[in-house]
């Protein structure tokens, strides 16, 4: 019969018995071991048979350790302790020794005992009734809704949920702040997580309202910062909400007066934050994000603001993402972008402005790419895969670890520790080659600022730090004085004054005129640049890892400081002729740009006037 | 530590128990008598049995044979060493014939002496010893001689030579086997392990029980059965399974492990699929030592497997076995099978399949002959003057015409005495209290609003889902008026919920009660402590999973039975435990209150069901007879009978009055987990792990329906209030509704069927299935029809 083959029992080999005996200090002969083995098998089967009775009466489908122990207890055998957990026990094999064992993790009792986030007991057992079938017919659906956690929420939690959502989405900014702060620190809202995630997923329905979108993103930020929440698979949902804000041509962006750029900046920063802190919760997340970003980027039909978002997203994912997605596409993308930027017609003004934004974003991204490549000359290739080293470095890579910088997107505070070793692979494209290519596109606007040491820089982080790269090959030092920072990321100032203690340390510039800010940065640039450049020149390919501090800060273009804080001064280019035509025109563009009044009401903005 | 199960089982068998003759004390008694009467005549056999007793009960494996008292016999044995398995036939057959008689006498005497000593019958032992002129030392030295396998084989041959003493030998040997009872306290187990020897003795007639021949015997019979006429084949095929089991056990018992394994491998595939579970247990048994204490083995040994075979078929079998001199099989048939011979047509395969499947074969026909008073008791007459007005007020526009006949019918129903009903006072029942009367009135009022169910009018279903029942919901019960819900949990708690707006309140503390004005009209309301009002209460007290819960009909008490072997009575006034009924000592799988209160029944792992009264701490009746755990227990609506379902795959009906088993229903192919009586008391529905629901006619003792649709254990069964619809709930997350009326109508109860018990069930039970209702992910653990015929189901949601 067919089932004859199936009727196999697990048998315990005599070797096992002997081994056990040995461990107990007894020598067994083969015969004895064989007999014992057979007996053990029988006893085990008997106990298993008996335990099935307990299973049946417990009205379960799966036999548990508890059932087995009951059977043992009733046959006067000591129960086996320590296997009561409902979680599956991983059974590992040690290949070298042909050894199989159950993995036992050590539990730090001290930690367990002193843990402050004591898990709340699971919800109270309750009985719910619902009419499943009326008159035995009608709804062919089964048994009503699966009991969701909402019915289980205690009144307190429900109240909390209502209050918080109302506060965050409501009008009172003070209340909102308090609510967000609590969301960030409350240890007891785990049960509400799905609801907040659901609320956040409402971004799609409020895409016309920047303010609401912003608030929803703030909720996301608070949630991911809450150390007591285990986001689990909700990460995906959060990321898709955030990506929506980053990439989608929001309804709000139809009106050029809406500062959706800021929103995108902020969302991209969040994306980066989520990814670096929670990215390991979802496997393949990195590639998923990369793919979706790439899809947007290569789609010429998409509006520029989407492209802008994609570039920001890539930037947020790290320079390797930039290298493996943006950089290869740059050539094709460039032609499209240039077409936009070259069109001086009035009707194109808005689009062109958008184009400038994209241009700026790309520039920021590739600058960091260059910088990082320069920093880690050997780490050219592994940008393809976000390996452990990448994730492990997240604290350094992620600027958002610093709570002070929370509103300043794009502050690339890469304080790479000197010792961090990346797997060394030969870079696909050498740095000079890459630089050359990029220079073709950006010309002198490709500026990378290198900082050494943290001394004077740390205090200046967050303030206007203009970056530029010295064109090592072509730029003579004497040009320095003329060279104003082309790419300028200005620090946000006004809204952070309330929150950021750091703002106390730095000179307050909000009301200062453009010229002041400009002169400050200019002067600073002016006298420091040569020395840094020196360092850079010497150390670019040297083994000594310089300390980078590359800060791109958004600039608050608030009510009080209308317009840009500084203008871009572009130097006359006198390099080789292969430098793109556009690069030479940039200063013109920069100058012709009107003071940007339209970007008002944004809390922070990555302001990249070019 | 607890004493072993078998012992406690014995202890549990109080003298009160009055039923099957299978109980241990009876057997013991019989045994002793037999010894007295037969020890003088059938010595030849006894010595064998004694040698086996010593073999099994002493651990002394000295192997060598001390040959002082043994005379010729010992000399003959001395040559054989004690190496186990099969002794060479050469050594066995030429046993020293001449020396035999004397040797046998001596050994027999020794055997009897040993038996007496074991049995603490010192005086008899002394007397016998004096008469025989034996000294103690000779005996001692002789007894170990029987231990080795070799001498045993020789003894076998001698038994053969002695001739004709088979039956007596068997009786005595089983007696001998049972002897160590007082000392070893393992009566059934010892019987179980020693009985194979009996067969071994018998098998010695022809082939000396050569293990190699077993396969031959079995396949010989198989060939024969396969060749007989079709009409007989189905009947005779029933023999396969018991024979297979017994032959296998004999092999195992006699240490022919390899042969046993080969035998099992060769033939287990031929067995009917519904014996799979037992075969699995059997396959585990490969050593003699393992048979000790194995419960399944116990069942095979202590009970005869019952087969129902027509006379013609039986004659055919008998003739075949005699022709072939197939004594091996014949002896098993004689020893371990009970063949219930009937005159008439042989049964068809379908008829047989419907009825077999239980652990011990079918029920004997006479087991179901007793008269059962299945009618309902006369309802006490309750005058309803006050609510007549109410009703009138309620349905003012209702026609007064309609109301009158309704009242009449109700009245007549209670006035007419059911001819099948037991005498009103057959079982003393508690008197009705005022509150009970009130409840009855409520019930009647509700009943007038009851929905008439039928195939065209199916009940609505409400599902009570237990959420977050991570501690494991194991039992559910509801009060008759559907106001309270109790859940038993694996974490040994019992939780009570109110499902009406009326909250659960407990009575005030004694000190506060003293302050209450006892004369006030609302004193019952005043005694309740409003502060304790809540939707649910948790009852702590058990120390193991709670497997059964039952509300008392007056809703004042709750019973719960648990793994800790106790049944607890809880007060629903104070929400405290009132009594812990101890007696089962093993997990108590189910308990239920009598429909009239006061009595309750419980059944458990100790294989007995017990009848208790709430004011007695000891059981009033013990219903023993099931061969395995009693899984579920239910009271008949008239409270005179109790039905129990067991994992031996039988359902039994017990008379509360005298404790007799009055019905044995076989046909289930798996342990029975649910039972329910029809409201009129005529029918019984049972559900088992195989997902089938069987319907039984109690009066005739017949299976009347088989409802197949569920794919997993049926945990809940309930008839609608008028008995038209049977609802079944299962582990497969469905509730199914069946047309009970149709099942009962289709049944032709002609005299022949009733007499023989041969039922022809319709092939397809799908015609009866009225509806299948899925839950999302909730096994259905309980079903309940409200008084208005709304179906309530309950179960714990299982997150996937």
- A125 to chain B: closest CA residue: B468
> Which domain CATH number covers B333?
1.25.40.500
Query: Which of B467, B631, B793 is nearest residue A126 as measured by Cβ atoms?
Result: B467
Q: pLDDT class for A121, splitting at 50, 70, 90?
A: low
User: Using the beta-carbon criterion (under 8 Å), do A136 and B499 form an inter-chain contact?
Assistant: no
User: Considering B346, B362, B378, which residue would you say is the last residue of a domain?
Assistant: B362
The pLDDT, as a whole number, for residue A332 is 82
Average pLDDT over residues B217-230: 85
Q: B741 with B722: CB under 8 angstroms? A: no
**CB-based contacts of B666: which residues, under 8 Å, 6+ apart?**
B355, B356, B357, B358, B361, B362, B363, B649, B650
Domain A157-249 sits in CATH at: 1.25.40.770
The residue among B328, B362, B396 that closes a domain is B362
- Report, as an integer, the average pLDDT of B204-227: 72
Confidence of residue B688 (pLDDT cuts 50, 70, 90): very high
Higher pLDDT: A145 or B700? It is B700
Could you tell me the pLDDT band of residue B642, with boundaries at 50, 70 and 90?
A: very high
Instruction: Determine, for residues A136 and B471 on separate chains, whether the beta-carbon distance falls below 8 Å.
Output: no
Q: State yes or no: pLDDT of B789 exceeds 60.
A: yes
Are residues A128 and B467, on separate chains, in Cβ contact within 8 Å?
A: yes
Residue with tokens 């003012």: B396
Q: Identify which of A79-88, A224-233, B698-707 has the greatest average pLDDT.
A: B698-707
**Cβ–Cβ below 8 Å for B463 and A60:** no
Measured between beta carbons, the chain B residues lying within 8 angstroms of A122 are: 468, 470
Q: Which of A371-380, A399-408, B461-470, B602-611 has the highest mean pLDDT?
A: B602-611
Q: Which residues in chain B are contacts of A123 at CB distance < 8 A?
A: 467-468
What pLDDT shows up at residue B477? 95
Among B284, B629, B781, beta carbon nearest to A59: B781
By DSSP bridging, strand B702-708 and strand B714-719 are: unpaired
How far is C-alpha B708 from the chain's CA centre? 23
In angstroms, the separation between the Cα of residue A240 and the nearest Cα of chain B is 26
Instruction: Identify the pLDDT of residue A36.
Output: 87
Question: B285 and A42: CB-CB below 8 Å?
Answer: yes
Sort out which chain B residues have CB atoms less than 8 A from A46's CB and list them.
Answer: 284, 290, 294
Q: How many helices (H) and strands (E) does chain A have?
A: 25, 5
Q: How far is B686 from chain A (nearest CA, A)?
A: 16
Length of chain B: 800
Residue B720 and residue B726: Cα distance in Å, rounded? 6
Segment of A161-175, B183-197, B437-451, B594-608 carrying the highest mean pLDDT: B594-608
ipTM of model? 0.71
Q: What percent of chain B has pLDDT over 70?
A: 68
Residue B739's CATH number? 2.130.10.10
Question: Counting Cβ atoms within 10 Å, is residue B272 exposed (0-12), middle (13-18) or buried (19+)?
Answer: middle
Mean residue pLDDT across chain B = 74
Nearest to A125 among B4, B468, B776 (CB): B468
- Residues A22-32 have a mean pLDDT of 87
Ranges assigned E (strand) in B647-774: 650-655, 661-666, 672-677, 683-688, 692-697, 702-708, 714-719, 725-730, 734-739, 769-774
The domain spans of chain A are: 14-103, 157-249, 284-377+428-449
Closest-CA distance, A184 to chain B, in angstroms, reads: 28
In a domain, B374, yes or no: no
Check B797 against A147: CB less than 8 A apart: yes
Cβ partners under 8 Å of residue B632, min gap 6: B589, B590, B603, B644, B645, B672, B673, B674, B675
Q: Is the pLDDT of residue B388 over 90?
A: no
Read off the tokens for A355: 């184009």
What per-residue confidence (pLDDT) applies to B710?
A: 92
- Mean pLDDT for A429-447 is 73
B407: confidence class by pLDDT, cuts 50, 70, 90:
very low
Answer whether A321's CB lies under 8 Å from A383's CB.
Answer: yes
Asked if B503 and B637 sit in the same domain, the reply is yes
Model confidence pLDDT, tens digit, residues A178-228: 888 888 888 777 778 878 888 888 777 777 788 888 888 888 888 888 877
Q: Which residues of B touch A133 (CB under 8 A)?
A: 458, 460-461, 771, 773
Confidence at residue B120, expressed as pLDDT on a 0 to 100 scale: 72
Residue B658 included in any domain: yes
* Helix, strand, coil content of chain A in percent (nearest 5): 55, 5, 40
Q: Determine the average pLDDT of the residues in B484-489.
A: 93
Q: Which of B347, B362, B377 is the last residue of a domain?
A: B362
Domain that holds residue B681: 464-512+524-748+777-796
Q: For residue B119, tell me if it sits in a domain.
A: no
Instruction: Return the pLDDT at A261.
Output: 83
Quickly name the fold that domain A14-103 has.
Answer: Histone, subunit A (1.10.20)
CB contact under 8 A, A60 and B466: no
> How far is it, in rounded angstroms, from Cα B463 to Cα A146?
12
| Cα B76 to Cα B71: distance, rounded to the nearest angstrom | 9
Judge contact between A111 and B712, C-beta under 8 A. no
Q: Span B573-593, mean pLDDT?
A: 93
Is the pLDDT at A34 greater than 90, yes or no? no
DSSP 8-state symbol, B86: P
Q: How confident is the model at residue B643 (pLDDT cuts 50, 70, 90)?
A: very high
Out of B243-257, B486-500, B562-576, least confident range: B243-257
Residues B540 and B684 in one domain: yes
Q: Which of A61, A130, A137 sits opposite B463 (nearest CB)?
A: A130
Residue A428 confidence (pLDDT): 61
As given in the structure block, the two tokens for residue A204 are: 């799609």
Average pLDDT over residues B646-665: 92
Indicate if the pLDDT at residue A424 is higher than 50: no
For residue B632, give the chain A residue with the closest CA. Answer: A57
What does DSSP assign to residue B472? -
B492 has a pLDDT exceeding 80:
yes
Q: Does the beta-carbon distance from A9 to B284 stay under 8 Å? A: yes
Which range scores top for mean pLDDT: A198-212, A441-455, B114-128? Answer: A198-212
Q: What is the DSSP letter of A91?
A: E
B495/B356 same-domain check: no
Give the pLDDT mean for A514-524: 41
Q: Which residues of B touch A142 (CB under 8 A)?
A: 773-776
pLDDT at position B390, please?
Answer: 46
Say yes or no to pLDDT of B475 above 90: yes
Summarised one tens digit per residue, pLDDT across range A67-92 is 899 999 888 888 888 777 767 777 77
Q: Tally the domains of chain B.
A: 2
pLDDT for the residue numbered A447: 62
Rounded CA separation B283/B279 (Å): 6
Asked if residue B402 is part of any domain, the answer here is no
Q: Which residue has better confidence, A442 or B573?
A: B573
Is the per-residue pLDDT at B14 higher than 60? no
Interface A–B counts its CB contacts (< 8 A) at 157
Taking an 8 Å cut-off on Cβ atoms, the answer to whether B462 and A125 are in contact is no
Chain A residues touching B777 at Cβ < 8 A: 146
Window from A225-229, B243-247, B659-663, B766-770 with minimum mean pLDDT: A225-229
Query: Mean of the pLDDT values across residues A246-262?
Result: 77
pLDDT band of residue B30 (cuts 50, 70, 90) is: very low
By Cβ distance, the residue of B269, B499, B773 closest to A129 is B499
* Cβ contact, residue pair B294, A46, below 8 Å: yes
């Amino acid at each position: 019969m067919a089932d004859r083959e199936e009727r196999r029992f697990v048998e315990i080999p005599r070797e096992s018995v002997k081994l056990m005996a040995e461990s107990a200090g007894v020598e067994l002969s083969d015969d004895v071991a064989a007999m014992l083995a057979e007996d053990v098998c029988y006893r085990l089967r008997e106990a298993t048979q008996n335990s099935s009775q307990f299973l049946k009466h417990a009205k379960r489908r799966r036999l548990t350790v508890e059932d087995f122990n009951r059977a043992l207890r009733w046959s006067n055998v000591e129960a086996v302790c320590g296997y009561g957990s409902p979680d599956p026990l991983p059974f590992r094999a040690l290949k070298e020794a042909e050894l199989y064992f159950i993995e036992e993790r050590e539990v730090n009792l001290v930690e367990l005992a002193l843990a402050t986030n004591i898990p709340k007991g699971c919800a109270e057992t309750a009985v719910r009734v619902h009419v499943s079938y009326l008159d035995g017919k009608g709804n062919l659906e089964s048994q009503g809704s699966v009991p969701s956690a909402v019915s289980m929420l205690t009144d307190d939690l429900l109240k909390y949920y209502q209050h918080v959502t109302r506060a965050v989405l409501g009008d009172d900014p003070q209340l909102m702040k308090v609510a967000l702060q609590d969301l960030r620190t409350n240890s007891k809202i785990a049960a509400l997580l799905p609801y907040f995630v659901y609320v956040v997923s409402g971004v799609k329905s409020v895409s016309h309202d920047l303010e609401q979108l912003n608030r929803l993103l703030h909720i996301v930020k608070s949630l991911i910062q809450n150390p007591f929440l285990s986001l689990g698979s909700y990460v995906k949902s959060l990321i898709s909400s955030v990506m929506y804000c980053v990439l989608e041509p929001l309804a709000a962006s139809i009106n050029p007066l809406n500062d959706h750029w800021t929103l995108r900046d902020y969302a991209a920063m969040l994306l980066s934050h989520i990814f670096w802190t929670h990215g390991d919760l979802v496997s393949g997340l990195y590639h998923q994000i990369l793919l979706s970003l790439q899809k947007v980027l290569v789609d010429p039909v998409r509006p520029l603001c989407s492209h802008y978002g994609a570039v920001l997203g890539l930037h947020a994912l790290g320079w390797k993402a930039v290298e493996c997605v943006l950089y290869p596409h740059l050539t094709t993308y460039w032609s499209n972008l240039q077409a936009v930027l070259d069109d001086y017609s009035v009707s194109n003004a808005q689009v062109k402005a958008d184009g400038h934004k994209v241009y700026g974003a790309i520039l920021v991204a590739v600058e960091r790419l260059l910088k990082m490549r320069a920093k880690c000359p050997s780490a050219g290739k592994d940008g393809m895969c976000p390996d452990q080293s990448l994730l492990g470095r997240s604290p350094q890579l992620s600027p958002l670890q610093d709570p002070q910088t929370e509103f300043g997107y794009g502050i690339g505070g890469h304080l790479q520790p000197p010792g961090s070793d990346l797997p060394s692979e030969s870079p696909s494209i050498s740095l000079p080659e890459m630089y050359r290519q990029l220079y073709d596109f950006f010309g002198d606007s490709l500026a990378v600022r290198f900082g050494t040491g943290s001394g004077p820089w740390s205090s200046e982080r967050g303030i206007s730090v203009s970056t530029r790269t010295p064109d090592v090959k072509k730029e003579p030092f004497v040009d320095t004085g003329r060279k104003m920072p082309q790419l300028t990321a200005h620090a946000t100032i006004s809204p952070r004054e309330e929150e950021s203690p750091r703002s106390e340390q730095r000179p307050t510039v909000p009301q200062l005129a453009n010229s002041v800010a400009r002169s400050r940065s200019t002067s600073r640039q002016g006298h420091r640049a040569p020395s840094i450049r020196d360092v850079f020149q010497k150390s670019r390919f040297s083994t000594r890892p310089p300390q980078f501090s590359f800060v791109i800060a958004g600039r608050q273009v608030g009510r009080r400081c209308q317009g840009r804080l500084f203008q871009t001064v572009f130097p006359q280019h006198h390099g080789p002729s292969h430098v793109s035509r556009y690069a030479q025109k940039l200063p013109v563009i920069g100058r012709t740009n009107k003071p940007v009044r339209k970007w008002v009401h944004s809390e922070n903005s990555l302001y990249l006037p070019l | 530590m607890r004493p072993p199960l078998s012992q406690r089982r014995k202890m549990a068998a109080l003298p009160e128990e009055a039923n099957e003759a299978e109980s241990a004390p009876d057997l013991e008694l019989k045994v002793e008598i037999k010894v007295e009467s037969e020890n003088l005549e059938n010595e030849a056999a006894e010595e064998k049995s004694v040698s086996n007793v010593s073999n099994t009960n002493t651990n002394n494996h000295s192997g060598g044979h001390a040959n002082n008292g043994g005379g010729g016999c010992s000399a003959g044995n001395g040559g054989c060493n004690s190496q186990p398995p099969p002794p060479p036939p050469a050594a066995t057959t030429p046993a020293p014939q001449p020396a035999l008689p004397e040797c046998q006498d001596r050994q027999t005497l020794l055997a009897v002496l040993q038996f007496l000593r074991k049995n603490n019958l010192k005086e008899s032992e002394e007397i016998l010893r004096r008469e025989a002129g034996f000294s103690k030392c000779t005996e001692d030295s002789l007894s170990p001689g029987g231990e080795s396998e070799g001498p045993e084989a020789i003894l076998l041959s001698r038994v053969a030579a002695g001739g004709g003493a088979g039956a007596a030998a068997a009786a005595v040997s089983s007696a001998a086997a049972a002897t160590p009872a007082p000392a070893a306290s393992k009566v059934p187990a010892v019987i179980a392990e020693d009985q194979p020897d009996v067969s071994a003795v018998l098998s010695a007639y022809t082939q000396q029980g050569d293990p190699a021949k077993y396969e031959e015997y079995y396949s010989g019979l198989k060939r024969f059965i396969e060749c007989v006429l079709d009409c007989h084949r189905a009947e005779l095929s029933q023999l396969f399974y018991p024979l297979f089991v017994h032959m296998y056990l004999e092999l195992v018992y006699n240490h022919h492990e390899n042969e046993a394994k080969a035998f099992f491998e060769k033939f287990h595939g031929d067995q009917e699929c519904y014996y799979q579970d037992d075969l699995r247990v059997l396959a585990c048994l490969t050593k003699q030592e393992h048979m000790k204490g194995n419960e399944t083995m116990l069942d095979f040994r202590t009970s005869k497997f019952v087969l129902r075979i027509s006379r013609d078929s039986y004659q055919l079998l008998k003739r075949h076995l005699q022709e072939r001199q197939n004594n091996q099989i014949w002896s098993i048939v004689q020893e371990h099978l009970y063949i219930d011979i009937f005159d008439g047509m042989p049964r068809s395969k379908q008829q047989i399949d419907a009825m077999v499947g239980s652990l011990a074969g079918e029920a004997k026909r006479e087991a179901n002959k007793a008269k059962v008073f299945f009618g309902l008791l006369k309802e006490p007459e309750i005058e309803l003057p006050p609510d007549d007005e109410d009703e009138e007020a309620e349905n003012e526009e209702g026609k007064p015409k309609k109301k009158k006949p309704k009242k009449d019918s109700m009245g007549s129903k209670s006035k007419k005495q059911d001819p099948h009903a037991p005498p009103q006072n057959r079982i003393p029942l508690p008197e009705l209290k005022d509150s009970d009367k009130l409840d009855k009135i409520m019930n009647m009022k509700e009943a007038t609003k009851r929905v008439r169910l039928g195939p065209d009018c199916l009940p609505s279903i409400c599902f009570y889902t237990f959420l977050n029942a991570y501690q494991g919901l194991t039992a559910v019960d509801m009060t008759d008026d559907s106001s309270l819900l109790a859940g038993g949990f694996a974490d040994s708690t019992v939780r009570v919920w109110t499902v009406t707006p009326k909250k659960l309140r407990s009575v005030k503390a004694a000190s506060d009660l003293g302050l209450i004005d006892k004369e006030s009209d609302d004193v019952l309301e005043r005694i309740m402590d409003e502060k304790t009002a809540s939707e649910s209460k948790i009852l702590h007290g058990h120390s193991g999973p709670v497997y059964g819960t039952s509300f008392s009909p007056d809703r004042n008490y709750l019973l719960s039975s648990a793994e800790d072997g106790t049944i607890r009575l809880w007060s629903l006034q104070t929400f405290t435990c009132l009594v812990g009924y101890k007696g089962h000592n093993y997990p108590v799988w189910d308990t239920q209150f009598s429909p009239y209160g006061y009595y309750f029944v419980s059944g458990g792992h100790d294989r007995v069901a017990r009848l208790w009264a709430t004011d007695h701490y000891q059981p009033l009746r013990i219903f023993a007879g099931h061969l395995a755990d009693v899984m579920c227990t239910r009271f008949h609506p008239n409270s005179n009978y109790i039905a129990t379902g067991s994992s031996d795959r039988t359902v039994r009906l017990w008379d509360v009055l005298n404790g007799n088993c009055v019905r044995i229903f076989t046909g289930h192919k798996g342990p029975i987990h649910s039972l329910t009586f029809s409201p009129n008391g005529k029918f019984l529905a049972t559900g088992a792990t195989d997902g089938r629901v069987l319907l039984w006619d109690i009066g005739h003792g017949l299976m009347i329906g088989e409802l197949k649709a569920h794919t997993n254990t049926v945990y809940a069964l309930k008839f609608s209030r008028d008995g038209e619809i049977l609802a079944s709930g299962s582990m497969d997350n469905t509730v199914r509704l069946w047309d009970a009326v149709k099942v009962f109508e289709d049944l032709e109860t002609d005299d022949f069927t009733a007499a023989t018990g041969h039922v022809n069930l319709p092939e397809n039970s799908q015609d009866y299935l009225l509806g299948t209702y899925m839950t999302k992910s909730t096994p259905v653990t309980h079903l309940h029809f409200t008084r208005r015929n709304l179906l309530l189901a309950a179960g714990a949601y299982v997150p996937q």
